[in-house]
Amino acid sequence: MGKKKKGPKLPKKIKWEQDADIHQRKFVNVYEVQCAKVSSIPCPWLMAIMKKAIEERFYVRKFIIEAEDDNDTGEPPAPQIRLDPVINAIRKSHFIYVYELAAWNFELEHQTVANLALLIEKGIYPITGIELMDCSLLYYSVERLARSFRFSSLTEVNLDYNEFGDEGCVKLCGGCKNNKTIVSLSLCYCALTYRSGLPLGEVAFHSTIREFFLDGNRLE
């Protein structure tokens, strides 16, 4: 007697999709507490996408945190969006489901960058991409961030519109050398000159980085 034909297998439901609402609701609760501690406000975009993700039970894999425009009305300054509460909420809620973290148009203090570097260094957070665009990064903050690269899962780094100059580029390249995961590095409009050519060349030779985006600099 021949074998009985089996019908097509139904796709198994993945547990982390079923629990997405639970984990992200926990993250949101912790995030709101962290914001209150430093008198900041939650990022509207992040809260909106989290609400949608909780309702539809999918994970938000990329966090985009963007600073609001300055208040020029003459009224007392309103609470601002800050990056630290996001980083602290990821850590305190053990939210291991975000892969990319983007911060746009901030004036990031060195301690905030160091806090982010500590998060990247933790092996349990599989962050593969960071964007710190137009965040007023200084060379010593870039150096601290770069030191975390050797312990990270990063594949893409974008630091566009931070005018840390050649000194910052040298510090950054020091962290990129011998890195085995990063494949894309973007340093557009970072006030680089021909002095950055040599360290960037060494990175191209001694790392896995194969994509360099360097528009808006004076490398020649």
Got the DSSP string for 171-211?
HHHHHHTT-SS--EEE-TTS--BGGGHHHHHHHHHHSS--E
- What six digits make up the tokens of 122? 């933790």
The pLDDT value recorded for residue 2 is 46
Q: What amino acid occupies position 109?
A: E
The pLDDT value recorded for residue 37 is 97
Q: Look at 71 and 180; give whichever has higher pLDDT.
A: 180
Residue 46 pLDDT exceeds 70: yes
Indicate the pLDDT class of residue 73, thresholds 50, 70 and 90. low
Indicate the pLDDT class of residue 75, thresholds 50, 70 and 90. low
Q: What is the CATH number of the domain that holds 130?
A: 3.80.10.10
Strand ranges, E, within 8-163: 62-66, 100-104, 129-133, 156-158
Q: Please indicate, yes or no, if residue 44 is contained in any of the structural domains.
A: no
The DSSP string of 82-96 is -SHHHHHHHHHTT--
Residue 162 pLDDT exceeds 80: yes
Distant-in-sequence, close-in-space partners of 103: CB < 8 Å, separation ≥ 6:
65, 66, 83, 131, 132, 133, 135
Q: Please indicate, yes or no, if residue 25 is contained in any of the structural domains.
A: no
Residue 5 pLDDT exceeds 50: no
The pLDDT value recorded for residue 178 is 75
Rounded-to-integer distance, Cα 151 and Cα 181, Å = 10
Q: Please indicate, yes or no, if residue 196 is contained in any of the structural domains.
A: yes
Q: Please indicate, yes or no, if residue 69 is contained in any of the structural domains.
A: no
Using only C-alpha atoms, what is the Rg of the chain?
21
Indicate the pLDDT class of residue 39, thresholds 50, 70 and 90. very high
Integer distance in angstroms from the first to the last C-alpha of the chain?
78
Domain that holds residue 198: 99-213
Q: Please indicate, yes or no, if residue 2 is contained in any of the structural domains.
A: no
Indicate the pLDDT class of residue 72, thresholds 50, 70 and 90. low
Exposure string of 46-72, with b = 16+ CB inside 10 Å and e = fewer, is beebbeebbeeeeebeebebbbeeeee
Residue 15 pLDDT exceeds 50: no
State the chain's mean pLDDT as an integer. Answer: 90
Q: Please indicate, yes or no, if residue 143 is contained in any of the structural domains.
A: yes
pLDDT for 96-137, tens place per residue? Answer: 999 999 999 999 999 999 999 999 998 899 999 999 999 999
Angle between helices 84-92 and 110-121 (to 10 degrees): 30
Q: Please indicate, yes or no, if residue 197 is contained in any of the structural domains.
A: yes
Number of folded domains in the chain?
A: 1
Rounded-to-integer distance, Cα 100 and Cα 97, Å = 10
Prediction pTM value: 0.88
Q: Please indicate, yes or no, if residue 51 is contained in any of the structural domains.
A: no
Asked if residues 62 and 79 have their Cβ atoms less than 8 Å apart, the reply is no
